[in-house]
Copies of this chain bind each other. A is one copy, B any other.
Amino acid sequence: MRKSKNVCDLKSCFLCKSCNREWLPFIDMYKQNRSFKKGEIIFSEGEKVEGIYFLFTGKVKVYKQWNEEKELIIRFAKEGDVLGHRGFGNNAIYPVSAAALEETVVCYIAYDFFLTSLKMNHELTYKLMMFYSAELQDAEHRMRDLVHMDTKGKIADALLMMRTQFGTDENGFIDMNLSRRDLSSFVGATYETVFKLINELTAEKAIRIEGKNIQIINEKKMRAYIQPTPVKK
Protein backbone atom coordinates (compact mmCIF):
# COMPACT_ATOMS: atom_id res chain seq x y z
CA MET A 1 0.00 0.00 0.00
CA ARG A 2 2.57 2.54 1.06
CA LYS A 3 5.28 3.65 -1.34
CA SER A 4 8.93 4.22 -0.61
CA LYS A 5 9.44 6.64 2.23
CA ASN A 6 11.75 9.32 0.93
CA VAL A 7 10.45 10.17 -2.49
CA CYS A 8 7.20 11.94 -3.09
CA ASP A 9 5.50 9.89 -5.72
CA LEU A 10 2.76 12.19 -6.79
CA LYS A 11 0.89 9.37 -8.40
CA SER A 12 -0.23 8.48 -4.91
CA CYS A 13 -1.55 11.99 -4.29
CA PHE A 14 -5.14 12.97 -4.81
CA LEU A 15 -4.67 15.48 -7.52
CA CYS A 16 -2.44 13.41 -9.63
CA LYS A 17 -4.99 10.76 -10.22
CA SER A 18 -6.22 13.34 -12.63
CA CYS A 19 -2.90 14.58 -13.89
CA ASN A 20 -2.07 14.11 -17.52
CA ARG A 21 1.31 12.87 -18.58
CA GLU A 22 2.90 16.22 -19.23
CA TRP A 23 2.16 17.21 -15.71
CA LEU A 24 3.88 14.42 -13.86
CA PRO A 25 7.50 15.00 -14.88
CA PHE A 26 6.86 18.72 -14.56
CA ILE A 27 6.05 18.26 -10.90
CA ASP A 28 9.04 16.01 -10.45
CA MET A 29 11.34 18.87 -11.29
CA TYR A 30 10.00 21.06 -8.58
CA LYS A 31 8.99 18.77 -5.82
CA GLN A 32 10.45 19.27 -2.42
CA ASN A 33 9.90 17.12 0.62
CA ARG A 34 9.50 18.41 4.14
CA SER A 35 8.91 16.50 7.31
CA PHE A 36 7.27 17.47 10.56
CA LYS A 37 7.36 16.00 14.01
CA LYS A 38 4.25 15.23 16.01
CA GLY A 39 2.65 18.47 17.12
CA GLU A 40 4.62 20.63 14.73
CA ILE A 41 2.77 23.32 12.86
CA ILE A 42 2.90 23.13 9.07
CA PHE A 43 1.33 26.51 8.45
CA SER A 44 -0.69 29.00 10.45
CA GLU A 45 -3.87 30.96 9.99
CA GLY A 46 -3.06 34.46 8.80
CA GLU A 47 0.26 33.60 7.20
CA LYS A 48 0.91 34.39 3.58
CA VAL A 49 0.40 31.36 1.37
CA GLU A 50 3.77 30.05 0.31
CA GLY A 51 2.82 26.78 -1.20
CA ILE A 52 0.59 23.81 -1.44
CA TYR A 53 1.30 20.49 0.23
CA PHE A 54 0.62 16.93 -0.70
CA LEU A 55 0.57 14.68 2.29
CA PHE A 56 2.85 11.77 1.74
CA THR A 57 2.81 10.03 5.10
CA GLY A 58 1.26 10.88 8.43
CA LYS A 59 -1.88 12.57 9.70
CA VAL A 60 -2.65 16.24 10.01
CA LYS A 61 -5.37 18.32 11.60
CA VAL A 62 -6.63 21.43 9.85
CA TYR A 63 -8.17 23.85 12.30
CA LYS A 64 -9.26 27.38 13.01
CA GLN A 65 -8.45 29.17 16.21
CA TRP A 66 -11.17 30.74 18.33
CA ASN A 67 -9.33 32.05 21.35
CA GLU A 68 -6.11 31.07 23.04
CA GLU A 69 -7.50 27.81 24.27
CA LYS A 70 -10.31 26.94 21.88
CA GLU A 71 -10.20 25.88 18.29
CA LEU A 72 -12.39 24.05 15.82
CA ILE A 73 -10.86 21.25 13.82
CA ILE A 74 -12.16 21.63 10.30
CA ARG A 75 -10.98 18.30 8.98
CA PHE A 76 -8.27 15.73 9.13
CA ALA A 77 -5.89 14.90 6.32
CA LYS A 78 -4.07 11.68 5.73
CA GLU A 79 -1.68 10.17 3.24
CA GLY A 80 -2.64 11.31 -0.24
CA ASP A 81 -4.60 14.41 0.76
CA VAL A 82 -3.87 17.99 -0.20
CA LEU A 83 -3.12 20.74 2.28
CA GLY A 84 -3.06 24.49 1.92
CA HIS A 85 -5.36 24.81 -1.06
CA ARG A 86 -7.82 26.69 1.12
CA GLY A 87 -5.56 29.70 0.92
CA PHE A 88 -6.09 30.15 -2.80
CA GLY A 89 -7.60 33.42 -3.86
CA ASN A 90 -7.06 37.14 -4.11
CA ASN A 91 -5.32 37.66 -0.85
CA ALA A 92 -3.36 34.49 -0.51
CA ILE A 93 -3.59 34.15 3.26
CA TYR A 94 -4.12 30.81 4.94
CA PRO A 95 -7.56 30.85 6.54
CA VAL A 96 -6.71 27.81 8.65
CA SER A 97 -3.78 26.25 10.45
CA ALA A 98 -2.40 22.78 9.97
CA ALA A 99 -0.52 20.72 12.53
CA ALA A 100 0.98 17.26 12.34
CA LEU A 101 -0.72 14.70 14.57
CA GLU A 102 2.15 12.29 14.09
CA GLU A 103 5.42 12.11 12.18
CA THR A 104 4.50 13.52 8.78
CA VAL A 105 6.14 13.92 5.39
CA VAL A 106 4.69 16.33 2.88
CA CYS A 107 5.54 17.13 -0.68
CA TYR A 108 5.76 20.87 -1.02
CA ILE A 109 5.05 22.83 -4.18
CA ALA A 110 5.52 26.58 -4.36
CA TYR A 111 2.31 28.53 -4.74
CA ASP A 112 3.37 30.56 -7.77
CA PHE A 113 4.51 27.52 -9.58
CA PHE A 114 1.31 25.68 -8.82
CA LEU A 115 -0.77 28.63 -9.97
CA THR A 116 1.12 28.83 -13.24
CA SER A 117 0.66 25.14 -13.73
CA LEU A 118 -3.07 25.47 -13.18
CA LYS A 119 -3.19 28.03 -15.94
CA MET A 120 -1.51 25.58 -18.29
CA ASN A 121 -3.19 22.37 -17.22
CA HIS A 122 -6.88 22.86 -17.68
CA GLU A 123 -7.86 19.36 -16.80
CA LEU A 124 -6.20 19.84 -13.45
CA THR A 125 -7.99 23.14 -12.91
CA TYR A 126 -11.27 21.46 -13.70
CA LYS A 127 -10.62 18.63 -11.27
CA LEU A 128 -9.52 21.04 -8.61
CA MET A 129 -12.71 23.00 -9.11
CA MET A 130 -14.76 19.83 -8.64
CA PHE A 131 -12.71 19.03 -5.59
CA TYR A 132 -13.55 22.39 -4.07
CA SER A 133 -17.18 21.82 -4.90
CA ALA A 134 -17.12 18.54 -3.00
CA GLU A 135 -15.35 20.13 -0.05
CA LEU A 136 -17.89 22.92 0.01
CA GLN A 137 -20.68 20.39 0.14
CA ASP A 138 -18.98 18.61 3.00
CA ALA A 139 -18.38 21.81 4.90
CA GLU A 140 -21.93 22.98 4.64
CA HIS A 141 -23.30 19.60 5.51
CA ARG A 142 -21.16 19.54 8.59
CA MET A 143 -22.14 23.09 9.41
CA ARG A 144 -25.76 22.01 9.58
CA ASP A 145 -24.87 19.00 11.70
CA LEU A 146 -22.81 21.02 14.15
CA VAL A 147 -25.65 23.46 14.58
CA HIS A 148 -28.55 21.05 14.95
CA MET A 149 -27.21 17.85 16.47
CA ASP A 150 -26.84 17.48 20.19
CA THR A 151 -23.36 16.77 21.45
CA LYS A 152 -23.82 13.03 21.62
CA GLY A 153 -24.88 13.03 17.99
CA LYS A 154 -21.89 15.10 17.02
CA ILE A 155 -19.59 12.66 18.76
CA ALA A 156 -21.23 9.70 17.03
CA ASP A 157 -20.93 11.52 13.75
CA ALA A 158 -17.29 12.35 14.34
CA LEU A 159 -16.43 8.76 15.16
CA LEU A 160 -18.26 7.42 12.12
CA MET A 161 -16.54 9.95 9.91
CA MET A 162 -13.17 9.06 11.33
CA ARG A 163 -13.77 5.39 10.77
CA THR A 164 -14.73 6.06 7.17
CA GLN A 165 -11.69 8.22 6.61
CA PHE A 166 -9.07 6.20 8.42
CA GLY A 167 -10.51 2.71 8.49
CA THR A 168 -9.97 0.18 11.23
CA ASP A 169 -6.99 -1.85 12.35
CA GLU A 170 -6.89 -5.62 12.69
CA ASN A 171 -8.73 -5.42 16.03
CA GLY A 172 -11.53 -3.27 14.70
CA PHE A 173 -10.35 -0.05 16.33
CA ILE A 174 -10.51 3.18 14.39
CA ASP A 175 -7.09 3.54 12.89
CA MET A 176 -6.33 6.88 14.41
CA ASN A 177 -4.93 7.86 17.73
CA LEU A 178 -6.69 11.07 18.50
CA SER A 179 -6.32 12.77 21.85
CA ARG A 180 -9.57 13.46 23.66
CA ARG A 181 -8.74 17.12 23.45
CA ASP A 182 -8.54 17.00 19.68
CA LEU A 183 -11.72 14.98 19.52
CA SER A 184 -13.52 17.66 21.48
CA SER A 185 -12.12 20.35 19.18
CA PHE A 186 -13.43 18.41 16.24
CA VAL A 187 -16.83 17.91 17.82
CA GLY A 188 -17.10 21.50 18.97
CA ALA A 189 -17.74 20.84 22.64
CA THR A 190 -15.74 20.98 25.83
CA TYR A 191 -13.32 18.36 26.87
CA GLU A 192 -15.33 17.35 29.94
CA THR A 193 -18.62 17.04 28.12
CA VAL A 194 -17.12 14.88 25.42
CA PHE A 195 -15.55 12.71 28.04
CA LYS A 196 -18.80 12.11 29.86
CA LEU A 197 -20.74 11.38 26.71
CA ILE A 198 -18.14 8.93 25.51
CA ASN A 199 -18.62 7.14 28.78
CA GLU A 200 -22.34 6.99 28.13
CA LEU A 201 -21.76 5.60 24.65
CA THR A 202 -19.52 2.97 26.19
CA ALA A 203 -22.10 2.11 28.82
CA GLU A 204 -24.72 1.72 26.10
CA LYS A 205 -22.37 -0.63 24.29
CA ALA A 206 -22.34 1.53 21.19
CA ILE A 207 -18.58 1.85 21.33
CA ARG A 208 -15.73 0.15 23.08
CA ILE A 209 -12.66 1.82 24.45
CA GLU A 210 -9.26 0.39 25.10
CA GLY A 211 -6.72 2.96 26.11
CA LYS A 212 -6.68 5.58 23.41
CA ASN A 213 -8.37 3.30 20.89
CA ILE A 214 -12.03 3.41 20.04
CA GLN A 215 -14.11 0.80 18.33
CA ILE A 216 -17.66 1.15 17.07
CA ILE A 217 -19.49 -1.98 18.13
CA ASN A 218 -23.10 -1.01 17.52
CA GLU A 219 -23.35 0.86 14.29
CA LYS A 220 -27.13 1.00 14.37
CA LYS A 221 -27.09 2.83 17.70
CA MET A 222 -24.47 5.23 16.44
CA ARG A 223 -26.47 5.98 13.33
CA ALA A 224 -29.57 6.56 15.42
CA TYR A 225 -27.79 9.44 17.15
CA ILE A 226 -27.03 11.25 13.94
CA GLN A 227 -30.62 11.19 12.70
CA PRO A 228 -32.53 14.43 12.67
CA THR A 229 -34.69 14.42 15.77
CA PRO A 230 -38.19 13.77 14.43
CA VAL A 231 -40.62 16.47 15.41
CA LYS A 232 -43.28 15.33 17.86
CA LYS A 233 -46.78 16.20 16.65
| Chain B residues, Cβ within 8 Å of A96 | 140
A230 within 8 A of B: yes
Among A68, A72, A130, A132, max chain B CB count under 10 A is at A132
A119 within 8 A of B: yes
A217 within 8 A of B: no
A3 within 8 A of B: no
- The chain B residue sitting closest to A227, CB to CB, is B67
Residues of A contacting B: mostly: helix
A25 to B24, CA, bound (A): 37
Select A143's contact among B68, B129, B143, beta carbons within 8 Å: B143
| A141/B67 in contact, CB under 8 A | no
| A95/B143 in contact, CB under 8 A | no
A135 within 8 A of B: yes
The 0/1 profile, CB within 8 Å of B marked 1, for residues 105-116 of chain A is 000000000000
The 0/1 profile, CB within 8 Å of B marked 1, for residues 123-148 of chain A is 00110111011111101111110111
The 0/1 profile, CB within 8 Å of B marked 1, for residues 179-215 of chain A is 0000000001000000000000000000000000000
Select A64's contact among B130, B134, B140, beta carbons within 8 Å: B140
- 30 A-B pairs (CB sep. < 8 Å): A64-B141, A64-B144, A65-B228, A66-B228, A67-B230, A67-B231, A68-B231, A70-B148, A72-B143, A72-B147, A74-B140, A74-B144, A86-B133, A86-B137, A86-B140, A88-B133, A89-B133, A89-B134, A90-B130, A90-B134, A119-B126, A122-B122, A122-B125, A125-B126, A128-B129, A132-B133, A139-B140, A143-B143, A146-B146, A147-B188
- A residues sitting closer than 8 Å to B (CB atoms) are 64-70, 72, 74, 85-86, 88-90, 95-96, 118-119, 122, 125-126, 128-130, 132-137, 139-144, 146-148, 188, 228-231
A-B contact sample (6 more), CB < 8 A, given A64-B140, A118-B126, A125-B129: A66-B144, A67-B231, A74-B143, A88-B130, A122-B125, A135-B136
Smallest CB-CB A-B distances: 3 pairs: A132-B132, A147-B188, A129-B129
